[in-house]
Amino acid sequence: MSSKIFRAIWTAAITVFLAAMVLSMGIMYGYFSSVQKEQLRMAAGLAAQGVALSGADYFEKLDTEDYRVTWVSPEGTVLYDDEADTATMQNHLERPEIKEALLKGTGEAMRHSYTLEDEQYYAARRLPDGSVLRMSVTQLSVWGLLFGFAPPISFVMLAALIASYVLASRIAGKIVEPINEIDLDRPEQYFGRENYREIEPLLRHISVQKVQLKRDREEIEKAALIRQEFSANVSHELKTPLHAISGYAELLENGLVKEEDIRPFAEKIHAEALRMSRLVEDIIDLTKLDNGGTEMKWEDCDFLKIAENAADTLEAAASAMDVRIRVTGENAPMRAIPQMLFSIVYNLCDNAVKYNRRGGSVSVSVARNEHDTVLTVKDTGIGIPGEDQERVFERFYRVDKSRSREVGGTGLGLSIVKHAVLIHHGTIRVDSRPGEGAEFTVTIPNRPGTGEA
């Protein structure tokens, strides 16, 4: 970065210097040209006076080292020229400066001289006898002026290059020095400081990014911990039915079971297999929910009908527990994923049946308003202590572990419910007291922002 700033400053300095030199040379060329012309006019005027007073004798003592002098008769014949043979020179009556001098008394022109083969500036004066005295000088060229000033210009350019190099190095160093000293671990300490005003937006962006990276790291660590705990819990939960199945099967294989006990053993193996199957299904469902349910289709559906179907599915299990399920409410059309809505109702009602009392009841109601649909599942079961209500949605968390295993719970039902509700941009709330049952309230927008086409 320092080298780029140095090159930029040095290039800018040299460009400005060269532009200034070109502009200065142009001004100097114009100035010296005007001085040269003015001097020629004065010399021509003085020489005209001398010739008018002395005639041809004036040219004998005239020093014409810097100027060319030509004397022309009123008819255009060249009477005198200090640099050419008059006998070989053409008639000058048509020369612009001669014509102008004969007409106005003075004349000037600038053109290429075929006699001297260079660019000449001419100044002519008409004499009292009608003849014309003309003086000319070689026009000053840009290259001539440049070569004339070559030594001082070279010295100035060398000094400018050295000065530009030194200044560019120092300026680049001073610009980059505060940046090189920045402690990126604590960019906030430079906010409001004069030396860092230009890069303060960048420092603020870095600070925001650091906070975001810290949050992301914490989220990743948290997710990794949850995944690790989930894997450990899955392994533990699968071991229990597998050990039971393996133990019962081994007893049957070795003939250690009486004939009248074979049926009870088979029933236990079947029950543990079903428990393991439910656990696997719940894990698969939870994995889909972790992926946002992207493979599931959003559809227009009726929440009340879905709730009724879920309750019908649990009717046999509820009857076995002597628990009555009642569904009330109104039709609730909405845009949602039907499988997830079914899973929400099913898992809430399944828990309400499993943790209920014999002869108890489960009330399911669906209410719809302009923006939301509210599902309420209320039971007359054992209830949930206050300290456990925030944790019941965690994976594999159980309030009463012994009862959960007794009724065959996997510990994933409420976690599935929570994920399904979040995918629908909804909320879930639990209200319960030990011994007084529990009430779960789910609120889901009728048209969640799904992002699907």
pLDDT at residue 449, as a whole number: 57
In this prediction, what percent of the chain has a pLDDT beyond 70? 78
CATH number of 190-290, picked from 1.10.10.10, 3.30.420.40, 1.10.287.130, 3.40.640.10:
1.10.287.130
pLDDT at residue 289, as a whole number: 67
pLDDT at residue 375, as a whole number: 94
pTM of the predicted model as reported, rounded to 2 decimal places? 0.47
> Which strands sit side by side in the sheet containing 427-432, from one edge to the other?
324-329, 361-368, 372-379, 438-445, 427-432
Q: What angle do CA 81, 82, 86 make, to 5 degrees?
A: 35
pLDDT tens digit string along 217-271? 887 777 677 666 666 666 656 676 777 788 878 887 787 777 777 888 788 888 7
pLDDT at residue 364, as a whole number: 94
The DSSP output letter for 198 is: T
Confidence class for position 379, pLDDT limits 50, 70, 90 = very high
DSSP 143-159: HHHHHHTHHHHHHHHHH
pLDDT at residue 232, as a whole number: 62
Q: Answer for the pair 377, 247: CB distance below 8 angstroms, yes or no.
A: no
Tokens at 132, concatenated:
């014309």
**Distance between CA atoms of 99 and 79, rounded to whole angstroms?**
16
Partner residues linked to 106 by β-bridges: 125
- Cα 350 → chain centroid: 50
82's CB contacts (< 8 A; 6+ apart) are 59, 62, 64, 68, 69, 70
CB atoms within 10 A of CB 235: 9
Residue 84 above 50 pLDDT? yes
Range 427-452 burial, b when 16+ CB lie within 10 A, else e: ebebebeeeebbbbebbbbbebeeee
pLDDT tens digit string along 41-73? 898 888 888 888 888 888 877 776 778 899 999
For the chain, the structural domain boundaries read: 2-147, 190-290, 293-453
Least confident of 2-16, 62-76, 95-109, 400-414: 400-414
What phi, psi does 272 have (nearest 5°)?
-70, -35
Tokens at 371, concatenated:
């923006």
Residue 316 above 50 pLDDT? yes
Burial class from Cβ neighbours inside 10 Å (0-12, 13-18, 19+) for residue 143 reads exposed
**Distance between CA atoms of 164 and 7, rounded to whole angstroms?**
10
Least confident of 8-17, 147-156, 261-270, 405-414: 405-414
pLDDT at residue 292, as a whole number: 63
Q: What's the mean pLDDT in 324-345?
A: 91
- Cα 256 → chain centroid: 74
**Distance between CA atoms of 307 and 224, rounded to whole angstroms?**
35
Pairing of strands 438-445, 361-368: unpaired
pLDDT tens digit string along 153-212? 677 777 777 877 777 777 777 766 666 666 666 777 667 766 667 667 777 787 788 888
Q: What's the mean pLDDT in 326-344?
A: 90
Q: Answer for the pair 372, 446: CB distance below 8 angstroms, yes or no.
A: yes
pLDDT tens digit string along 414-435? 888 888 898 889 999 999 888 8
> 95, 94, 78: which is closest to 86 by C-alpha?
78
- Output 37 or 207, whichever has higher pLDDT: 37
Fold of 2-147: Beta-Lactamase (3.30.450)
Compute the mean pLDDT over every residue in the chain, rounded to the nearest whole number: 80
What phi, psi does 304 have (nearest 5°)?
-65, -45
The DSSP output letter for 184 is: T
Q: What's the mean pLDDT in 271-287?
A: 73
pLDDT at residue 453, as a whole number: 33
Q: Answer for the pair 77, 94: CB distance below 8 angstroms, yes or no.
A: no
- Cα 92 → chain centroid: 77
Burial class from Cβ neighbours inside 10 Å (0-12, 13-18, 19+) for residue 22 reads exposed
**Distance between CA atoms of 334 and 165, rounded to whole angstroms?**
74
Fold of 293-453: Heat Shock Protein 90 (3.30.565)
Helix (H/G/I), strand (E/B), else coil: 318: helix
The DSSP output letter for 60 is: G
Integer angstrom CA distances of residue 420 from 216, 293, 311, 350, 371:
23, 8, 18, 16, 19
pLDDT at residue 452, as a whole number: 46
